[in-house]
Structure 1
Amino acid sequence: MLTAYYTGNRTMAVAAADPVPPAPGQVQIAVAYNGICGTDLHILSGHMDARVDVPAVIGHEMSGTIAALGEGVDGHAIGDPVTVMPLAWDGTCPACLAGHGHICQNLDFVGIDSPGALQGRWNVDAGLLVPLPASLSLRHAALVEPTAVAVHDVRRSELAPGQKAVVIGGGPIGVLIATVARAFGGDVVVIELDSGRRERIARLGFTVLDPAEDTVAHVEEWTGGAGADAVFEVSGAPAAVLGAVDHAKVRGTVVVVAIHPEPRPVNLQRVFWRELRLLGARVYRREDFEKAVALLDAGDIPADDLITGTVPLGEIQSAFDALARGEAMKILVDVQAGQEPA
């Protein structure tokens, strides 16, 4: 079976590898689709070489079907459609003991810290499986993981129906946050620099602002001078971090979603003056994954509008290059395309 490897120096290589039978307690998945995300691009650029073992099989936004069961696995059957919640925690650290296993202090993020889904057959612990309904296509199901991120982010904000939210950054996660916030009853404005992305987001029915405009004045007019109930910083840009608090109402919430590679200036005077909450939001819980499955299955997530291309595993380098150039929103890798029968 073909497997893709990050080999360093901004390069993905594809080679054949023999599948290994699943160990006791594991299942083997025939991976159907794998989405490429911002974290994968960080890996490709070398920013995470201290964390990944090169050559590394990466990938964690996936869907597939069970191909084999390891000894002792119950409750699953060959052929079942599944995705994977790619978090393995130790259960013993202070975070786990406090009930926050999803941000375990020794977390194994599968697909980064251990082998991921960019391979024809993938063995994972059965406890990581999330069942998929037969009504949800495997292509759309590859968006469950990033949708779960968005669900977790919106839940962290405690956004209530009828409240107003500002999303800074209109990439895939930003659009998913906006979509989930709307599905939860929120009224949403998106701020995005790229004109092509603004056009795409506007077609989804959102008001989209150019950050070159006076976005604070627009939000004040939109909210009757109050400010937004929740602001999501998804862009990762230093200027966006500095200005995020300016869009929030008194006792509003600013949720930091983007991964920032270095410390950023924050206007703490504004945080103090308006008694703002500044929150981090990282990954997801099991209930976020299950809600993401339900939202996609119900058609509440515009999957076809988000997926801008699909490539076979053998052409994965071209997909990474296109995303790095900003030419696509979300590209899926068809992992089974070109594979020899197992």
Structure 2
Amino acid sequence: MTVAVRYTAARTLDTAETETRSPGPGEVELAPAYVGICGTDLHIFHGDMDARVTTPAVLGHEMSGRVVRVGPDVEGWAPGDAVTVMPLRWDGTCPACGSGHQHICQHLDFIGIDSPGAMQQRWTVPASTLVRVPDSVPLERAALVEPTAVAVHDVGRAAVREGERVVVVGGGPVGILIALVARAAGADVRIAELSAHRRALAEASGLTAWDPAVDDVPELVREWTGEAGAEVAFEVSGAAAGVDTAVDVLGVRGRLCLVAIHPRPREINLHRFFWRELTLVGARLYDRSDFEKAVSLVADGTIPAERLISKVVPLTEAPAAFAALEAGGDVMKILVDCTDDAQGVAV
């Protein structure tokens, strides 16, 4: 048996014992160490994804841990190996897969949403989803590889180039990670974020952050760029005002990368797209190369993972951690410690 955190209904989680499934052919059993709570998990918690999620649902897809057992026909992995998981299972037969875009398979199983996730003491997954973590990387930091892979993919989709001016609208965990990855690619980056706590974390990482509640962000961008406007904007806030800001800061032929999940349709200034020949690109998930790049960025310190971790709580306190994140306040990333002897600690 294993203890798991389960979503049962809107704003309702429990911890319960569930059956441990032995690894079959091509599978491995993992002992998750740390699992991050992300924005998608909060959407599930709010009940926004009930049409997709089958209850009770074990949550969690941002994780690190170790291999416990390997199933038949699994090569290259052994008990004790440190890993993270790229939580995607595709069918390999749909048009998206046929065109080489398996990560957005038309019948995608996103593990942790469409099937049981990592927020449990034992977790069986396909060996093909494993990504190796160097022994030099603490498992707490390795839990941020998955959101870093999101940022790597987003920066790639926006085709950020050295010397470009980039505005990130929304300075939550993914927003700051995008800013750090874009900076590593040679871009000059600014963040627009309402939370003073998150702005302070961004600035502690060497980033410039503006408060859109008091700062005229489009005007600041015009001053910064000599009236040209930014080459790239990322919309990571999920708010209607964030969409407006992301469009308004762009210069001629600027690129807007949509990262946030918007639960409802938004109005957008299409005239500005016409007038300035702007481009809108969507960015969803990642592929293996994004994950491998993310591991290297966490390992070499480009991503200051420890600075982004606000708190670590034991598995039994995960429901309270969801409520704390929903309430907002001075919090960035909360990790759930799934180890057998977990004790909640502040980082």
Task: Tell me, yes or no, whether TM beats 0.5.
Answer: yes
- Aligned pairs for 1:80-95 within 5 A: 80-95=81-96
Given that 2:256 and 2:279 are in contact with CA atoms closer than 8 Å, whether structure 1 keeps it comes out as: yes
Determine whether 1:250 maps to 2:252: yes
Aligned to 1:3: 4
How many angstroms does 1:200 deviate by?
2.1
The alpha-carbon deviation at position 177 of structure 1 amounts to 0.4
Consecutive unaligned residues in structure 1, runs of 5 or more? none
Map residues 11-30 of structure 1 onto 2, 5 A cutoff.
Answer: 11-30=12-31
Corresponding residue number in structure 1 for 2:200? 199
The percent identity for this pair of structures is: 58
Query: Displacement of 1:325 after TM fit?
Result: 0.8
Question: So what's the TM-score if we normalise by structure 2?
Answer: 0.96
1:128 aligned partner: 129
- Partners of 2:171 and 2:117 lie apart in 1 by 27
- After TM superposition, the structure 1 stretch with the greater mean CA deviation from structure 2, 140-149 or 44-53, is 44-53
**Contact 2:9–2:55 (CA under 8 A) maintained in structure 1:** yes
Equivalent residues, number: 339
Residue number in structure 2 paired with 1:331: 334
The one-letter amino acid paired with 1:269 is: H
Q: 2:300: which partner in 1?
A: 298
> Partners of 1:68 and 1:133 in 2: how far apart?
19
Q: What residue in structure 2 maps to residue 265 of structure 1?
A: 267
**1:117-266 correspondence runs (5 A):** 117-212=118-213, 213-266=215-268
Contact 1:314/1:338 (8 A) holds in 2: no
Supply the AA of the counterpart residue of 1:123. T
Partner residue in 2 for 1:101: 102
For residue 337 of structure 1, report the CA deviation from its aligned partner: 4.3
Q: Distance in 2 between matches of 1:243 and 1:162?
A: 22
CA–CA distance in structure 2, aligned partners of residues 289 and 200 of structure 1: 24
Report if the CA contact (8 A) 1:3-1:14 is conserved: yes
How far apart are 1:193 and its partner, in Å? 1.1
TM-score by length of 1: 0.97
Q: Which SS does the other structure have where 1:2 is aligned? A: strand
Superposition deviation, residue 199 in structure 1: 2.0
Give yes or no for the alignment of 1:288 onto 2:290.
Answer: yes
Between stretches 239-248 and 328-337, larger displacement belongs to 239-248
Aligned match of 2:345: none
1:15 Cα deviation from its structure 2 partner: 1.6
- CA drift of 1:290 comes to 0.3
Q: Distance in 2 between matches of 1:176 and 1:112?
A: 22
Q: Distance in 2 between matches of 1:76 and 1:186?
A: 38
Q: CA deviation at 1:19?
A: 1.9
Cα deviations by residue, 1:73-115 (Å, 9 ceiling, x for unpaired): 1111111111100011111111111111101111110000000
Larger mean CA deviation between 144-153 and 91-100 belongs to 91-100
d(CA) in 1 for partners of 2:56, 2:27: 23
**Cα displacement string for residues 55-86 of structure 1 (whole angstroms, at most 9, x for unaligned residues):** 11110000000000001111111111111000
Give the superposed CA RMSD. Answer: 1.1
Distance 2:117 2:341 in 1: 19
Post-superposition CA distance 1:289-320 (Å, at most 9, x none): 00000000000001111000000001111111
Provide runs of 4+ in structure 1 moved above 3 Å. none
Shift of 1:245: 1.4
